[in-house]
Amino acid sequence: MVSRPLAAIWAGTVAQIDGELDDLLRAELRRQQTSLDLIASENFTSRAVLEATGSVLTNKYAEGYPGARYYGGCEVVDEIEKLAIERGKQLFGAEHANVQPHSGSSANISAYYALLDAGDTMLTMELAHGGHLTHGLRVNYSGRFYDVVPYHVRRDTETIDLDKVRALARAHKPKLIVCGYTAYPRTIDFAAFREIADEAGALLMCDMAHVAGLVAAGAHPSPFPYCDIVTTTTHKTLAGPRSGVIFCRKEHARAIDKAVFPGLQGGPLVHVMAAKAVCFKIAATPEFAAVQRRTVANARSLAATLAAGGLRLVSGGTDVHLALIDLRNLGVTGEECQRLLQSVNITVNKNVVPFDDHAPTETGGIRVGSPAVTTRGFGEPEMQHTGELILRALAGRDDPSALARVREEVGALLARFPLYEWL
Ligand code: DSN
């Protein structure tokens, strides 16, 4: 298919032409197969999503939007982008969708660029209490270009202090209020946020990246009836490709589209838009909804087991796919716990907990999530077992033979749930 000198190389698989990379790809596959993945923002995507992401669509430039491109040859990609848009709108009941953002961060930044001017005020949850870098962290674009007023969780309940959010909104009259978090174990009261936004004359945006799959399945309240803008990633609970989407009400459609392209991005990743289309199709199935419900039940089981074993859960529990564990009374930092669990092939991430004095590189806690293991097939008995293994690893942290037994049990547990056998 390709000019003579290149033909053999072009037709070669990674294994055939690049042994070094092939070894690394195999090592990562093996790592995923043999690790118990509790990172709340990760998942195992489907074969169809992998196939679309690895398709020839990666060859195509398509700056612009369907029917209005800056390149020829876009007749097929127009249909692909329209398919992704329509399926996304249908899945969530949205008025408008832009499926071009490369990531959740690009989606958030594009939304701000569309709605705000530099120096405008936005009211967002502080990162240390569960927000995100792009929700106004000082070193992020969002924190440098906007006047960010942070809100927090209450010290006693560790849930969002809505009275304080209301008071801050009244005092600062933000142009935008952001809800939706990366490390908040409770459901979000979107109706209350809408009321607060209306009272302050603010727009309301939800970054639903973490709970998007749950929302699609009705396992978490939907932000759509209440929010002007909803951004998401597609690779977390949604289990699609690594990417982002912006949904909005019709009146913001033009501004959002202009902000994404030509405002902040050039050519969209057409192969990833195709993968988003298939991701949305899968997310609309009853099978996917059942897994999302199980994801929530599984997180509850894991959290309950950890709490029964003496660990402190931030806010006392979870309603979603993740729990936040406060380790500060154990004399173990989040960083140490992450490393300890890694040594027994359980993957978690260190995470600051509200009112944490530890540096973000050290942290006083860890975040655990159920999406990846639930996709893999775990049910509540396996989650309880996982919780017991974590407790045993913590209790036996200075006992190499206890840790070796835990590692062995992790391996045996995972062997019952094969992953990507067809790869
Ligand atoms: N980094 C993601 C997470 O782990 O929650 C958020 O973008």
Locate the domains of the chain by residue range.
52-283, 296-415
Q: Is 345 in the pocket of ligand 1 (CB under 6 A)?
A: no
Give the model's pLDDT for residue 1. 64
Taking the C-alpha atoms of residue 152 and residue 161, their distance in angstroms, rounded to an integer, is: 6
Give the model's pLDDT for residue 5. 86
Atom 6 of ligand 1 has which residue's CA nearest to it? Answer: 182
Q: Is 104 in the pocket of ligand 1 (CB under 6 A)?
A: yes
Two tokens, residue 18: 């690049």
Domain formed by 52-283, architecture:
3-Layer(aba) Sandwich (3.40)
Q: Exposed (0-12), middle (13-18) or buried (19+): which is 251, by Cβ within 10 Å?
A: exposed
Testing ligand 1's pocket by substitution, the residue of 41, 43, 320 carrying the most ligand atoms inside 8 A of its CB is: 41
- Give 381's contacts (C-beta < 8 A, 6+ positions apart): none
Question: What one-letter code names the amino acid at 246?
Answer: I
The atom of ligand 1 lying closest to the CA of 105 is 7
Span from the CA of 259 to the centroid of ligand 1 (angstroms): 23
Give the model's pLDDT for residue 3. 81
> Given 3-state DSSP classes, what are the helix, strand and coil percentages for the chain, each rounded to the nearest 5?
50, 15, 35
**Average pLDDT of the residues of the chain:** 97
Span from the CA of 334 to the centroid of ligand 1 (angstroms): 16
Two tokens, residue 291: 């897994």
Domain formed by 296-415, architecture:
Alpha-Beta Complex (3.90)
Give the model's pLDDT for residue 135. 98
Span from the CA of 108 to the centroid of ligand 1 (angstroms): 13
The atom of ligand 1 lying closest to the CA of 42 is 4
Q: Is 41 in the pocket of ligand 1 (CB under 6 A)?
A: yes
- Find out whether 83 and 240 touch, Cβ atoms under 8 Å: no
Spans of the chain, pLDDT less than 50 = none
Q: Exposed (0-12), middle (13-18) or buried (19+): which is 8, by Cβ within 10 Å?
A: exposed
Taking the C-alpha atoms of residue 159 and residue 324, their distance in angstroms, rounded to an integer, is: 12
Q: Is 182 in the pocket of ligand 1 (CB under 6 A)?
A: yes
Give the model's pLDDT for residue 4. 81
